[in-house]
Each structure stands twice: as C-alpha cells, then as structure tokens.
C-alpha cells in the first residue's frame, strides 16, 4: 500500500555547464602585414579570418610545444639541404636543462667552506637577485 503522504525525494539536478564564451580578437596590421594575410588566405583557400587565426594558432602552438621539448624545427629541401628555424621568441621556451658534467678541483679548505654553507640555512636573497629573478 502506498504511503498517504508522499515524501519528496531530493533529486540532484545536473550542474549547469557554463558555456565557453567566444572571445574576439582584433589586431592592427600594417598594410604589408594585411597584404600578407590576404595572400596567405588566398594561397590556403581560406575565406574567414577566424579560420586563418585558428590555423596560425595551431601552427604556433605546435612550434612552441616542439621547442619546449628541445626539438629543432627544420626544413629539408629535395636535395637534402636543411635549414633550422631560429625564431627568437621560440628560443625563450626551449628547455636547456641538459648540462654536461665536469670535475672541479677543490682544496680541502674550499670543501670545508662549501660543506659549511651547504649544510646551513640558506641566505636571504639580495635585492639584485630578486630583481634578476623578476626579469
């Protein structure tokens, strides 16, 4: 027999999924750059600036990810001639953590001094060091 009073069951409503807002991108281009965009769009058979920007972004993103992994971006001609892309901004993301190992000549006194410094509390950073890390 069903209960006289129906109890309300709390039903979990699906969380409202926020819709991603599309952002607008506007750029001031020099006439030569504007012309370059038009030529590239024609060559690539693109009609919209959005498609152009999307593809350019994908290409730049790929280049950044490759350089971040330490890979070089190289073009190779049919005769085997290779050219390495050297793009200053990309060089900023390249990891350079692989350093070779060398032996250092230490005097006993230097080792004692090194051990004392390394086993103690680290010094506070100087202003110049803070500025350097801010750069």
Partner 1 sequence: MAVTIRRLEESDGVEGFDCGDEPLNNYLKHHAWTNQQKVSIGVTYAAVDESAPRTVLGYFTLATSSVPRDRFPQKYVRGLPPYDLPLILLARLAVDKRFSGKGLGHAMIAEALKITLRVADEVGCRCIITDAYPDKAGWYARYGFLPLEGTAATSPQKMFLDVRTIRRALSSESSSAERK
Binding residues (CB under 8 A) for partner 1: these are 84, 86, 88, 91-92, 94-104, 106-120, 122-126, 128-135
* Burial category of 67 from C-beta neighbours within 10 Å (exposed 0-12, middle 13-18, buried 19 and up): buried
* CB closer to partner 1, 40 vs 132: 132
Q: How far is the CB of 115 from partner 1 (least distance, A)?
A: 4
Assigned token pair, 20? 């991603």
* CB closer to partner 1, 2 vs 122: 122
Residues 6+ apart with CB under 8 A from 67: 73, 90, 91, 93, 94
* CB closer to partner 1, 10 vs 98: 98
Q: How far is the CB of 86 from partner 1 (least distance, A)?
A: 7
Element (DSSP H or E) covering residue 74: strand 74-76
């Amino acid at each position: 027999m069903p209960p006289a009073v129906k109890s309300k069951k709390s039903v979990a409503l699906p969380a409202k999924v926020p819709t991603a807002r599309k952002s607008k991108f506007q750029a001031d281009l020099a006439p030569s750059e504007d012309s370059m965009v038009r030529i590239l769009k024609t060559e690539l058979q693109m009609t919209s600036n959005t498609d152009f920007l999307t593809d350019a972004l994908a290409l730049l993103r790929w280049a950044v990810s490759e350089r971040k992994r330490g890979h070089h971006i190289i073009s190779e001609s049919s005769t085997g001639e290779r050219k390495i892309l050297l793009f200053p901004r990309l060089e900023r993301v390249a990891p350079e953590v692989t350093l070779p190992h060398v032996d250092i000549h230490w005097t006993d006194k230097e080792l004692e001094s090194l051990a004392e410094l390394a086993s103690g509390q680290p010094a506070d950073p100087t202003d110049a060091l803070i500025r350097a890390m801010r750069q």
